[in-house]
Structure 1
Amino acid sequence: MAAKIPFVREMEFTYEEPQQVSPLIRRLVANNPGPFTYLGTGVYIIGRGDVAIIDPGPDKPEHIEALLRAVEGERVTHIFVTHRHMDHSPAAHPLARATGAKVYASTEPPKPSDCDELRLEAGDDHIFTPDLDVSDGDRFSGPGWTIEAVSTPGHTSNHMAYALLEENALFPGDHIMGWSTTVIGPPDGDMSAYFASLEKVRDRNYDTLWPTHGPPVREVRPFVEAYLAHRLAREAQVLAQLESGKRLIKDMVNEMYADVDKRLHPAACHSVLAHMIRLVELGRVATEGPPCVDNEYWLKRA
């Protein structure tokens, strides 16, 4: 069994209605629930008067209208995007055109795949390009609030979290979610980078995580430790599957994720692939050619 994570899944809200969730944070949940978005995309509005918006969500007219109502009479100065997936970034530029704000995100391009065409999650937003590049440690401010960019590659190569310094809180996008583990889909997703990013977030000792999907995480350090332990346990499961003679990832997933919604099994295959790539890099597993979902894998003996 993989390590247990103390998930938090209960959240009271009304779709497309802003809710004050902390002194500086309002949350508005888009009406786009699903197996990867959970209850929907949570959009965060920071501050009052001159405000920032984090992960504006899908490009749906009713959603953008709801966001504009939520900031009526205020000035949107910054629109931050954690990564270019269809449930996070598409509303950024329509919202920017309506408000005059600039869109901020990492401009590092995603890594294309040369062997797997499986579409994961809500899909990539291939046309998204920010107005301004964001790098690790960059700071942005408004009246009473300061946002710091925190590079967290792993879920995607260009994933950027954002810290609200005044509340010692982090908006981790899809890097860490309270309701579920995070999909790591190679080649843009990288398990080794993900481990390093989890350790980075853990060691910064934030008081609260506000994921884009689902409720906040209040006990941050033990939660992230459980996330790390879960991944290490999954890695041990992969090695055990190989030891038992299984060579195909899909066969491993059917056993390892037997209690998980089968709609998520294709994504689980890519998470197992991410572990497999890491194990190949560590010299513990071998395969022929570039590691792909349909390859055969075997243990390397000393």
Structure 2
Amino acid sequence: MKADCNSFSNIMAIVILARGKCGLSKCISVYMVAMATADLLVMIINVMLYYILSYHFPLSFLSYTPVCKFILYMATATFDLSVWFTVSFTFDRFIIICYQTFKTKYCTERTAALVITMFSILIIIKNIPMFFFYEPEQIINKLWWGCRANLAFFSSPFGVACIWFHSIWRVWLPFTLFILFNTLTVGCILMASRARRRLRGHSGENQSDPEMENRRKSIILLFTISGSFILLWLTANVSFLTTRLTNTNHYRGDRTAPAYIATETGAMMQHLSSCPNTCIYAVTQRKFREELKKLLKSPWILIKSLSKNEIKTI
């Protein structure tokens, strides 16, 4: 039920942002639509298909090994898309705030679409080794069923390198870029704010500054999205590092082991990171809230107009 609600909220965010009536630039809208789409795919593939349907219907079509491998491949790819679309959005905000001369060339709808397409292609290619991570769990009537970790592959040097590469690509590198871009952005904002206050103080202007107000709203949106990602992915990041360094990633069925609890908690919080963006938009963007109200009222307005037309015909 919660997955359905989260999917519905992501669908509403996609519809509202795609209409382009939230007062946001086309460049920002492209990134936000991409982020909402990736979050929707995470809820559908990772949560509904993998964690719910595959688990509760173990002998269904989803349990065929080729289908199971494809679901695991898509689950990894959708997580990567969600992460790197958010990084792309953060970098775009960094450019538009810190490099005023370069923003007219980079912060465009065409560039945003190109960046999203390039990351999508790169992630699709990067995750191809995922098909070698798993092997059939059993063979029934000459059919391969289920997926289990390919221990021979994971114990090989190439398999270990793939695991570390996936962790660095999905968590450590995005974390580093988030902190770097946000730190540089804060520094640019503080410098610009001080210079602008001095300039307005010398000119004797006391009225509100529209430019600083728009910049403040952009920063609130940027930091809330980046901050929620960092907080929700921090547990998975730390648990992966500690279990790998201490070699405690084998729980032998003990669900009370601290390493198991930390890993599963981290996985749960990773999936939760696909949920709060719609709430962030609603809290930080007034026009988004207005469009959301219109979207929710539209079915009732349609029903009301249809009922009036029926009464008139009668």
Richer in strand (by share): 1
Higher relative contact order (CA 8 A, sep 6+): 2
Q: TM-score when scaled to structure 2?
A: 0.26
Q: TM-score when scaled to structure 1?
A: 0.27
Richer in helix (by share): 2
| Larger-gyration structure (1/2) | 2
